[in-house]
Amino acid sequence: MSWTYSGNPGASEKDQVRFYVGDVDETFPLLTDEEITFLLTQWDDAYNGALYVAAVAAEVISGRFAREVSVSADGVSAQIGELQQRYDTLASSLRDQYKALYGFFDPVTAANILNDTFDPSIKPLIFAIGFNDNYQAGRQNYGDFHPGRSIDWWSGDVQNEPVVWG
């Protein structure tokens, strides 16, 4: 495991990550070169910058300090447990800097893919298996509503009906 920092954040992406996270003291290393290289290979292609990778690195460091506790004995106190919250705050701040530099970003989620516009080619999502099992409860899948068309769910037949509005 190696630790190197040139002192010039412009020298490499690894040095940029160390600069943003504050891992510049070789007597107290927070991440190894191999760990930063791993984070760069995982996140750099998706978010295009060492600044976002530094936010992820801050979360990794925060996770390491999560197991530490604050100690107070004989009039001396060490608030090591607060380092987790500080690195979480640093990760949030680095993401805000990323937004300011590169513009707003959305991590890819189902909510981003399925927006509010209606796409008739997408079958409506079913919220549970067997929710239509009780035929006396009536039709419960209201996501597939089309005016003028009803579907007999038990036979699969489509009946065209006149549209009555109002």
Owner of token pair 């987790």: 84
- Distance (Å, whole) CA 49 – CA 95: 11
Q: What burial letters (b/e) apply to 42-62, b meaning 16+ CB within 10 Å?
A: ebeeebeebbbbbbbbbbbbb
Which pLDDT value is given to residue 125? 59
Give residue-wise pLDDT tens across range 105-142: 655 555 555 556 666 666 655 555 666 666 666 666 55
- Determine the length of the chain: 166
SS3 42: helix
Give residue-wise pLDDT tens across range 53-101: 999 999 999 988 887 777 777 777 777 778 888 899 999 999 889 888 8
Give residue-wise pLDDT tens across range 90-103: 999 998 898 888 87
Give me the DSSP letters along 64-93. HHTT---EEETTEEE-TTHHHHHHHHHHHH
pTM for this one? Answer: 0.59
